[in-house]
Amino acid sequence: MKSKITIAGCGIAPGDITEKIRKIVNNSDIIIGGKRILDFFYDFKGTKITISNNIDELIEKIRKLKERKKITILASGDPLFYGIGKTLSSKFSSDEIEIIPNISAMQALFAKLKLPWEKAKFFSIHGQKKINYNSILTSELAIIYCDNKTKASDLAKILIEKFPKSSKRPAILAEQLGTEKEKIINSSLAKIAKQNSSELSILLLLPQNSFITDPGFSIGLPDSEYFHEKNMITHPEVRVIAISKLKPGPGIIWDLGAGSGSVGIEIASLSEDIIVHSVESNRSRCKNILQNIEKFGLKNIILHNANITQVIEELPPPRGVFIGGSGNKIIFTLQQSLKKILPGGRIVIPSVLLRTKTELNKFVTENKKYFVELISISISHSEKISDNYMLKPENPVDLYIFEKK
């Protein structure tokens, strides 16, 4: 009978290593892990292999050795919590591996703080090209694993740069947990940003009690929050109503004629389970969209720099479609969207121009089975006049809502 590869969690300190794990290690021919974890087993007599950045090479080596050697892979914390267990369980069958859990650094920190953590949201920026700053800041209790490229103090600086009002957010910096150099600082993001934290660091954002300190990310952000061309953005109030009528949820959403990308960005901010396909043919506007995506750290938006007619057949079937622009092909775009949208999915189209309204009204008359409702939005904003105020009206916007039954 072939022996299984053991993937063992070692917790955060030598004291977390159970007798079961020590017996498994002592009976192994080879142990594999990071240098810090391998040092926990200084008296091991077999072969030690230090994990490098080349995981594919390591997996091939394990495949060659596992037939004739007993291998144990040692993971810090818990193997399946932002650990190597996730990668290995995707590369080997369940019959080939055994996973032994242990306490994670995040669990250890909550225990040290005597803080319940069932409502916490967990993040890791290790090896991530994009970081969802929005999800971090809008979480009531957020805990983030950091790495040597973006330490906890670095992340605090980035959050403040992107959302200045977040500087007063209560936060905790924890580093070198389980070691002699362990340090925990309970303060604010602003003070933590001034620290020079170690590579083994965690940032914990605490609930806001007495006052709101960060804007997080809300639906209907001011136009000024976005990079955009003049008049090439769906204004906040219209954005809010349009998104509510679209009823977005987990799955695919199309943002066609994306302009600044504001609608798609705010939909993507609702959940990482929503994947937004933003389509925009204008290169300069695409540049703005990319800057906006980067600003808010969203990972669930795919940008297509192309004409709608070129890509609409290739896009995956959506559960919702927002058509902010169509290049004078509104009916074609609507018809193609209705063909591909999933049953029960909605299409929302804002209209300002008379020609667009005329074409859509004609479509509604001829295709009543798809029509849900028409909403006319008239917005006025206060404007200061001398020592008083008056309302200044904006152009009215009509929202056409369609649904595939």
| Domain map (residue ranges) of the chain | 5-103, 106-205, 223-403
Burial 131-170 (b: 16+ CB within 10 A, else e): bbbbbbbbbebbbbbbbeebbbbbbbbbbbebbeebbbbb
Within 30-163, residue ranges assigned H as helices are 35-38, 55-65, 84-91, 105-113, 133-138, 152-162
Quick one: 5-103 is in which CATH superfamily? Tetrapyrrole methylase, N-terminal domain (3.40.1010.10)
Residue 284 confidence (pLDDT):
96
Q: Which residues contact 282 (CB under 8 A, 6 or more apart)?
A: none
Residue 193 confidence (pLDDT):
96
Residue 164 confidence (pLDDT):
85
Residue 213 confidence (pLDDT):
46
Topology at the third CATH level for domain 106-205: 3.30.950
Quick one: 223-403 is in which CATH superfamily? Vaccinia Virus protein VP39 (3.40.50.150)
Per-residue pLDDT of the chain (405 residues; tens, 9 = 90+): 467 899 999 999 999 999 999 999 999 999 999 999 999 999 999 999 999 878 889 999 999 888 889 999 999 999 999 989 999 999 999 999 999 999 999 999 999 999 999 999 999 988 777 788 878 888 889 999 998 889 999 999 999 988 888 888 999 999 999 888 999 999 999 999 999 999 889 999 998 765 554 455 678 999 998 999 987 899 999 999 999 999 999 999 999 999 999 999 999 989 889 999 999 999 999 999 999 998 888 889 999 999 999 999 999 999 999 999 998 899 999 999 999 999 999 999 999 999 999 999 999 999 999 999 999 999 999 999 989 999 999 999 999 999 998
